[in-house]
Amino acid sequence: METKRPLRSDLLQPVQLRLDGLFERIQHLERALEEVPDGLSDNIRRRLERAALFRGLNAIQRSYEAIATVLCLILDGSTPDDEESWYGDALDQLSGTGSGRVPVVPPALADLLRVVGVYPDFDPVLELEPNLAVQRRRHAAALRAAPMLFDALTTLDARLINGTLRIGCAPDPEFVAQHPGRVERARARERALRRALSRIEEAFQDRGHCVVPFGSVVEHRVHGRSDLDLLAPGEVSREDQRVLWSVAEDVTRAEGVEFDLHFPAVYAGDFLDRIKVILGGKIAPLRDLLAAARDQKTHEK
């Protein structure tokens, strides 16, 4: 599986970041499948295979969803936000034509990505065989889709580099016109996230801790489903972790948004280097974002 970073356009670095994550998750799943022990009964091996596929493919699906989201935001300025149908709508948007643009996602690739996104409606214990069959189809589709997506993105990158692609023009104006509230919902979401962030920063400071945001708010890529990604650096006791989590939960619930709060000190030592973000338009480790935030705080004093 290709792991080098092929995308040269600064505009596509957020896509490259998610593409790196996709490759890592595919490799992790392949290792997990290879590590199913020999010498077990066929029934046990099939159950272990199904469990590995379920966990690995759900992670891979999240990568495909993240790539689709960022592509829609970069190319068209908005992404579908209906909780039930947004992903299929995003694939329709990216595989559509119009406004002087060829499909960014070829229809055949969009079809494969829809297969990967299927969640089996079969009990994993009582209906092992049909559940496993769906997981295997998802797996095959995921492996076929990855190189096709890689090719589509490198083609897109080339068109951005040589200036033959218009940015900000929807692939299907009629499709976008059917969703007039999409951009306003994204703006309302960003306002709610920033209100929540301001209140959380103040509440954490009152308790002797700081908080650093990352993700969509920092990247200025908020859409109607965006949540608030937060980092609480330094040593934070178990009791303080519970208190800070409760504070963030109360604030975000009041604003009608969701959040994810990380305490790096409780993770493996390489957490701040392993997790990558977009900083200054480039891919950088989370450690660099934290250092930049601290530097900004120092200059503000």
Condensed to tens digits (0 to 9), the pLDDT of residues 285-301 reads: 988 988 887 766 655 55
Question: What is the three-class DSSP state of 276?
Answer: strand
Residues in the chain: 301
26 pLDDT band, cuts 50/70/90, is very high
Q: What is the pLDDT of residue 83?
A: 83
The secondary structure element, H or E, covering residue 299 is helix 286-300
The secondary structure element, H or E, covering residue 262 is strand 259-262
CB-CB contact of 134 with 122 (8 Å)? yes
Which DSSP string do the residues of 92-119 spell out, in sequence order? HHHH--BTTB--SS-HHHHHHHHHHT--
Question: How many percent of the chain have pLDDT more than 70?
Answer: 89
Mean of the pLDDT values across residues 68-85? 86
Question: How many percent of the chain have pLDDT more than 90?
Answer: 54
- What would the pLDDT profile of 191-234 be if each residue is shown by its tens digit? 999 999 999 999 999 999 999 999 889 888 899 889 999 999 98
What pTM does this model have? 0.84
Helices (H), 35-81: 42-76
Q: What is the pLDDT of residue 174?
A: 60
Q: What is the pLDDT of residue 30?
A: 96
Q: Which residue has the higher pLDDT, 191 or 176?
A: 191
CB-CB contact of 229 with 258 (8 Å)? no
Q: Which of 156-160, 167-171, 248-252, 269-273 has the highest mean pLDDT?
A: 248-252
